[in-house]
Amino acid sequence: MHISLTKKILFSLALSVILIFLLEFGCRLFVQGGKWRAKGGPKINELMPYTFFGLWNPSSLYTKHSRHVFVSTAYEGKWDDIPVKKVNNEMRILVLGGSTASGVGASRIEKNFYKLLEKKLNERKEDKSKEIRVFSFGYGGWISSQEWVLLMKFCLKFDPNFVILFNGYNDASYHHPPDTPLYFNEVKTYLTRSEIQKIVGEIISGSAMIYLLRKQFYDHRTRSIDKDPKIKDKIIRNYSRNIGQMTGVLTTKNIGVLLALQPILTDKGYHSPSEREVLKKCLTCQYTADVYPGMVPVVQRVGERYSVPYKTQWFEDVRETVFPDMCHLNDLGHALVAEEMFEVIHPLIEKQSFKDQ
């Protein structure tokens, strides 16, 4: 029986699709019983910080998410609960970063650095008719690439007067370069992607088979980090690009900026007994400590280029415990950070005119 070439091609395509579906089904069964399976589907965004671009939509994600932003007495709820339009005489300060920026480590909400900063700014403001509100958009594990997308796609709509970029640790602690994952591995790709790319991204993001491939790829890159001395340079270049782009966008829009390279335990001048114990047990401290010095001049250069304040040194003379782990802060640490940020920001926002409401 003669079978035409067209039929052979169609049969091959159909067979390939069936095999792909069977592989996907098998992978989903495997992932279903895996310990890294999260409720609702594979958490690819937790696998590597760059893979989240294919599945992320800020407004829809945070409508469903349980993470809260706490500011003053006006708004306490999810990020999407914050009114886009300001109330009369309101000045908004946004904080971008990872878990430290979100307030992890504080014993309660009122002890978070951004709450303390907001309180102090309102107590010391000259114009008592103005209301200053500080919103934390920090999210655990995020790096500067994700903060950049969050800023461009979500945060700017809140019309901030000032933005604090309080980050660095997550960028330094990821043991892989920014060009290793599959698809959507650059911020630019996400920001400029077409409708077709969005569809492809959604398909890839929902695939258990691609998830397993990514995991194997990530595991391989992690195991081979010591064989690639250029990884640290790539991480630093990526961080430089991201904070430079964010600062450029903000200054162009006449929004104030503070570049704050977040404090880490290895940079503290004196270590308390409990902090020394943390250093002994920390498996990744040395790697992060090796990358961090390269990030200091990056923050300085970006700050000088755009004429914005920057801060790279913290707790130089503090002997008490402020770090319960490598990067998070206890109540004392939050209070000290709030105090140092206040000293930088207060004179700037006093000079800055409030935008017309």
Rounded CA gap, 31 and 36, in Å?
8
Q: H helices then E strands: how many in the chain?
A: 13, 9
Residue 74: per-residue pLDDT: 41
Identify whether residues 161 and 243 lie together within a single domain.
yes
Rounded CA gap, 39 and 100, in Å?
25
Identify whether residues 133 and 243 lie together within a single domain.
yes
Judge whether 60 lies within some domain: no
How large a percentage of the chain has pLDDT more than 90? 36
Residues in the chain, total: 357
Average pLDDT, stretch 249-273? 94
Judge whether 356 lies within some domain: no
Residue 196: per-residue pLDDT: 73
Which is it for strands 69-71 and 75-77: parallel, antiparallel or unpaired? antiparallel
Residue 61's CB: how many other CB atoms inside 10 A?
16
DSSP strands (E only) in 100-147: 131-136
Count: domains in the chain: 2
Residue 166: per-residue pLDDT: 97
Asked whether the predicted pLDDT for residue 24 surpasses 60, the reply is yes
Identify whether residues 74 and 43 lie together within a single domain.
no
Residue 211's CB: how many other CB atoms inside 10 A?
24
Lowest mean pLDDT among 30-34, 79-83, 128-132, 324-328: 30-34
Mean pLDDT of the chain: 77
Distance of CA 325 to the CA centre of its chain: 19
Average pLDDT, stretch 262-277? 93
Judge whether 115 lies within some domain: yes
From the list 59, 45, 46, 62, the residue with the least C-alpha distance to 205 is 45
Average pLDDT, stretch 325-336? 95
Judge whether 59 lies within some domain: no
Residue 60: per-residue pLDDT: 34
Query: Among the three residues 187, 204, 227, which one is the final residue of a domain in this structure?
Result: 227
pLDDT tens string 91-116:
999 999 988 998 889 998 889 999 99
Query: Which residues constitute the domain of residue 214?
Result: 1-54+178-227
Identify whether residues 15 and 104 lie together within a single domain.
no
Identify whether residues 81 and 122 lie together within a single domain.
yes
Average pLDDT, stretch 321-338? 95
Rounded CA gap, 144 and 49, in Å?
9
Rounded CA gap, 139 and 152, in Å?
16
Rounded CA gap, 221 and 203, in Å?
24
Asked whether the predicted pLDDT for residue 220 surpasses 90, the reply is no
Residue 214: per-residue pLDDT: 65
pTM of the model: 0.75
Predicted confidence band at 39 (pLDDT cuts at 50, 70, 90)?
very low
User: Up-side HSE of residue 302: CA atoms within 13 Å toward CB?
Assistant: 28
Identify whether residues 185 and 256 lie together within a single domain.
no
Identify whether residues 317 and 191 lie together within a single domain.
no
CA distances from 327 to 111, 263, 333 (A): 17, 7, 11
Rounded CA gap, 283 and 162, in Å?
36
Lowest mean pLDDT among 29-33, 54-58, 60-64, 138-142: 60-64
Asked whether the predicted pLDDT for residue 351 surpasses 50, the reply is yes
String of DSSP letters for 9-31: HHHHHHHHHHHHHHHHHHHHHHH
CATH number at residue 94: 3.40.50.1110
More confident residue, 51 or 194: 194
Residue 216: per-residue pLDDT: 67
Residue 322: per-residue pLDDT: 96
Identify whether residues 50 and 106 lie together within a single domain.
no
